[in-house]
Amino acid sequence: MSQKKTWLAAGLLGAILAWSTAWGSTPPPVAPATVPVPAKTPKAASKSTVDHSKLKELQKKFASGPEVTKACLNCHTEAAKQVQGTKHWTWEYSDPKTGQKLGKKNVINNYCTTTISNEKDCMACHAGYGWKDASFDFAAEDNVDCLICHDGTATYRKLPGDAGHPVYERKEFPHGSGKFVEAVDLQKVAQSVALPRRSNCGSCHFYGAGGDGTKHGDLDSALKNPGKYLDVHMDAKGLNFTCTTCHATAGHQVSGSRYAMTAAQTGPAHIRGKADASPASCQSCHGDKPHKESILHAERLNTHSDKLACQTCHIPQFARDSIGTETSWDWSTATQMGPAGKPIFVKDSAGRRAFDSKKGNFAWDSYLVPEYRWFNGHVSYKAKGDVIDPACTVEINHPDGEPGDADARIWPFKIHRGKQAYDTENNYLLVVHTAGEDDTALWRNFDWQKAIATGMQTAGLPYSGKFGFVSTEMSWPITHMVAPKTDALGCAQCHSANGRLQDISGIYLPGRDHSRLLDSVGWVVVLLSLLGVLIHGGTRVVLHFKHKG
Amino acid sequence: MNAPTRIYLYRRYERFWHWSQAVLVIFMLVTGFEIHGVYQNFGFQRAVEYHTLAAWALLTLWAFTIFWQFTTGEWRQYIPTLNRVLAMVRYYAYGIFVNAPHPFHKTAGKKHNPLQRLAYVTLLAMVSPLIWGSGFFYLFYGYWKDFGLDRTISLEWVALAHTAGAFMMLTFFIVHVYLTTTGHTPFAHIKTMVTGWEDAEAEEGAAGKA
C-alpha cells in the first residue's frame, strides 16, 4: 500500500516537472535591449494611416513649392512652426560657451567659404523657399520646404541659383554641360510623401560643398544603398538604418549636431530612454562597454572607452569608396585662365574636379586614414570678422579638448586643408561674393577685388582693399561609415612605433611609448650581466682544460 | 671510505613550483618585451592576452607557494645572513677558478648559500613587489577612475616601474641560469632541481679530502 502511494507521488511529481519544464523551455521571445529596430525597407506596405494620394488638398496642379507647403499645413498645422525652430531653417547657432553666432549663416568654411552674399546658390540646401538675401522672411510658414525631406519619389531636386526652389522648368545643369534636369511633378511628389530616407537627408548632406562626397568624407551617395562593408548599420541588405534611426527627431528637431557633439557619453545603452543624452551617439545603443568576446580581450577593449571614441577603432578609414572626398581646396589659383585666356575646368583621373578657373585647385582621395585629435564635443570657430594670424595655418574650426579631460576622447577627423583670401591689413578671412548673375560675382567676372568688395559690404565688415591668401584647415569629426567589427582596427595599429596615434600626446601608450633612459640603462645592465657570466664561464672552461693538460 | 651520501634538498611541490615559475617568468619576459615594442612575435593583442593569463597563473602559483612556505616552515630558507658572504664572494671571484673547496655546504636545513639568500631576499623584497605592484595597477588601469586613482598615479610611471622590474628580472634570470653551472658538474644543480637529490659525495670539499 505504502509502496503504491510512493509510486503515485513519484508519478505526480514527474508529471509536474515535465509540465513545468515544457513551459519553461519556451520562454516568450525577448528583444535584445541593445539592438534598435531596423528601419523598414521602402518596399514594405505602408503602415501609415494616411494615403496622401487620396487627399483632396493634393489633387491639383501645384505651380510652386510654397503652394504645396500651404496644402501640407492644412493638416499638419504645427509642422512649419516646428521646422522654423530648427537649424535646418535658421542656419543659425549660438555657441552656449562663448555666445558666438555660428551656423551656416555666419561661419566661414573651408570649401565655398561663406553663404553671405551667395544665398541664391547656397540655399539649394536650405529647407525653405526664396532665401536669396537678407530680406528673407523667416516667419513665413509657406516658405518652409516640406518636400526636400519627405519626397518619396526621389525626383525632387533643388539646384544652385534658385534660392531654394525646386526645378519648375526643364533646365540645363551644370550650365553648358548638355545635361538636363527635368521639371518636378509637384503633385506626384506631394502625393508620395514619406518619412525621410537616406536619399532625402543625403540630397544635401552627401553633396555638401558642391559635389558628391566633397565635404564630409564619411557621407556620400554610396550610402543611399550601401553594403555591409561601407556601413554596418545602413547596410541595405542588413539592418538598413535610415539617418533618423540614430538621428531621432521630435517635433522636427533632429538630434546630433556638428556644433555641439556628444563626444564622451558614458554609461549603459539607453536608446531613446534618457532625455538628457544624445540618441545620435554610438553609446546610446551600445553603451560604453559594448565588447563581449573573450573575457581577456573584451575587458581590455571596454576599458578603452574612457580614452577613445568608438569611431576611432570602428571607422578605420573614411571615404571607403570610389567617390572619395575632397582633401584640399586652394582658392589662391582661382581666376587663373586656360591657354586661350578662357576659364577652364580640369578633371582628375577619377573624373573629379581638379582645377576650375572659378574656384582654384582641388585634391581628392579615397580610403583615407583619419587624423586623430582629442575632442570634447565643443568646436571653436573663426567666424566672419574674427582676427587671424596669417603667419600660421588658420584653423577655421578647432576641436577642443585636452588629454585627461573626463569629457574628451581621441576622435578620428578628416582635416580639409586649403588656402583662402584674407584681408592683409585687418587680418581676417574675407567674405567673397562668388555666385550670382551680377557683374561683381567672382565666378562671373573673375575679379577678386570686386567680388571681395561686394562680399564684405554684404557682410557689414570693412575691407582694407588689400588681400592675400592664407593657409587654412578645417576639421570634420568622422562618425559615419562604421565598418563591420571584423574590419575594426587591431591593437598594434596604435600600440606600435609610428602607429596611428603617433602624434597623440598626453597618454602613455604601451608599445609606442617608453623611457629612452630606462631602456638604455636596462639593456646595458642586461648586457653587462651577460658579458660577466660569459667571461666568468669562459675563464672557468679555459682553466679547466689547462688544468687537465 | 666515505659512503656516498645523497641529501634530499627539494621536495616535490618545491620542484613543481620552481619549474612552473621558471616557465611562467620566461614566458612573461617574452610577451612583456613584445608589449614593450622590442620585437614582434605573437602580435600585440596576443602578447597582452598571454601576458595577462600568465600573470594570473603565476599569481595563483604564488598563493599556493606562500601557503606551502609557511606550512612547511621553508620560508626560513630566505632569512638573509651576512655570515660568510665574503667567503662566497671570494670563492666566485677566485676559488672557483683554482678548484678551491666550496665554502658552503648545503643541508636540508640550509639549502641556499649566503649570497643566494641575499639574492633571493632582494628578489622577494624588491623586485617582486615592484613587478607585482606595478603589474597589478597596469592590469586594472581601466578601474582607476572608479577609485579616484587616476588623479594620483599615472600610467606612465606604472609602466616604467614595470619595465624596470622586467629588466631586473631578466638580469636575475641570466645570472641565475649561469650559476646553475657552478656545481661539481655543469648540470649538477639542474639535476638536483629536477630530482630533488643532491649528491653530497662529489662535493668539492669532500672530493678534496678523499
pLDDT reported for residue A466: 98
Distance from CA of B23 to the nearest CA of A (A): 19
pLDDT tens, B117-126? 999 999 999 9
Residue at A458: amino acid letter: T
pLDDT reported for residue A175: 84
Q: Are A394 and A106 in contact (CB under 8 A)?
A: no
Residues B137-150, mean pLDDT to the nearest whole number: 91
Instruction: Say which of B97, B156, B167 has its CB closest to residue A522.
Output: B167
Distance CA A68, CA A471 (A): 45
Instruction: Say which of B99, B143, B174 has its CB closest to residue A533.
Output: B174
Query: A288 in contact with B at a CB cutoff of 8 Å?
Result: no
Number of A/B CB contacts below 8 angstroms equals: 90
Cβ separation of B145 and A514 shorter than 8 Å?
A: no
Cβ separation of A510 and B159 shorter than 8 Å?
A: yes
Chain A residues with CB-CB distance to B181 below 8 A = 537
pLDDT reported for residue B16: 97
Query: A97 in contact with B at a CB cutoff of 8 Å?
Result: no
Average pLDDT along chain B: 90
**Secondary-structure breakdown of chain A: helix, strand, coil percentages, each rounded to the nearest 5:** 30, 15, 55
pLDDT reported for residue A27: 42
* Minimum CA–CA partner of A498 in chain B: B37
Q: What is the DSSP pairing of strand A467-477 with strand A394-395? A: parallel
| Tens digits of pLDDT across chain A (549 residues) | 455 555 655 565 555 554 444 444 444 444 444 545 555 555 567 788 999 999 999 999 999 999 999 999 999 999 999 999 999 999 999 999 999 999 999 999 999 999 999 999 999 999 999 999 999 999 999 999 999 999 999 999 999 999 999 999 999 998 888 999 999 999 999 999 999 999 999 999 999 998 999 999 999 999 999 999 999 999 999 999 999 999 999 999 998 887 888 888 888 898 878 877 788 899 999 999 999 988 889 999 999 999 999 999 999 999 999 999 999 999 999 999 999 999 999 999 999 999 999 999 999 999 999 999 999 999 999 999 999 999 999 999 999 999 989 899 999 999 999 999 999 999 999 999 999 999 999 999 999 999 999 999 999 999 999 999 999 999 999 999 999 999 999 999 999 999 999 999 999 999 999 999 999 999 999 999 999 999 999 999 999 888 877
User: What distances in angstroms separate CA B31 from CA A249, A302, A425, B51, one per listed residue?
Assistant: 50, 22, 60, 6
Residues B40-55, mean pLDDT to the nearest whole number: 97
The three three-digit cell numbers of residue B104, written as one number? 658552503
* Neighbouring C-beta atoms of residue A208, cutoff 10 Å: 20
* Neighbouring C-beta atoms of residue B195, cutoff 10 Å: 14
Is the entire prediction scored with pTM above 0.90? no
Query: B178 in contact with A at a CB cutoff of 8 Å?
Result: yes
Query: What number of CA atoms fall less than 13 Å from residue B33's CA on the CB side?
Result: 16
Q: Is A469 helix (H, G, I), strand (E, B) or coil?
A: strand
Cβ separation of A523 and B163 shorter than 8 Å?
A: no
The three three-digit cell numbers of residue B14, written as one number? 618545491
Cβ separation of A513 and B154 shorter than 8 Å?
A: no
Q: Read off the pLDDT band of B210 (50, 70, 90).
A: very low
Which B positions 71-130 lie with beta carbon below 8 A of chain A? Answer: 92, 96-99
Chain A residues with CB-CB distance to B55 below 8 A = none
pLDDT reported for residue A38: 54
Which residues, 6 or more positions from B161, have their beta carbon under 8 angstroms from its beta carbon?
B130, B133, B134
Residues B36-62, mean pLDDT to the nearest whole number: 97
Residue that is written with C-alpha cell 539592438 in the block: A35
Distance from CA of A524 to the nearest CA of B (A): 10
Q: Are A82 and A88 in contact (CB under 8 A)?
A: no
Rg (CA), chain A: 31
SS (H, E, C) A325-343: EEEEEEHHHCCCCCCCCCC
Distance CA A253, CA B10 (A): 76
User: What distances in angstroms separate CA A399 from CA A380, A382, B153, B189, one per listed residue?
Assistant: 6, 12, 27, 64
Q: What is the DSSP pairing of strand A409-423 with strand A467-477? A: antiparallel
Cβ separation of B160 and A515 shorter than 8 Å?
A: yes
Judge residue B4's burial from the number of C-beta atoms within 10 Å of its C-beta, 0-12 exposed, 13-18 middle, 19 or more buried.
exposed
pLDDT reported for residue A120: 95
Q: Read off the pLDDT band of B202 (50, 70, 90).
A: very low
Distance CA A296, CA A304 (A): 13
Instruction: Say which of B43, B154, B164 has its CB closest to residue A492.
Output: B43
Chain B residues with CB-CB distance to A403 below 8 A = none
pLDDT reported for residue A210: 87
pLDDT reported for residue A10: 59
Percent of chain B's residues with pLDDT above 90: 72
- The DSSP bridge partners found for residue A399 are A379
Chain B residues with CB-CB distance to A490 below 8 A = 43-45
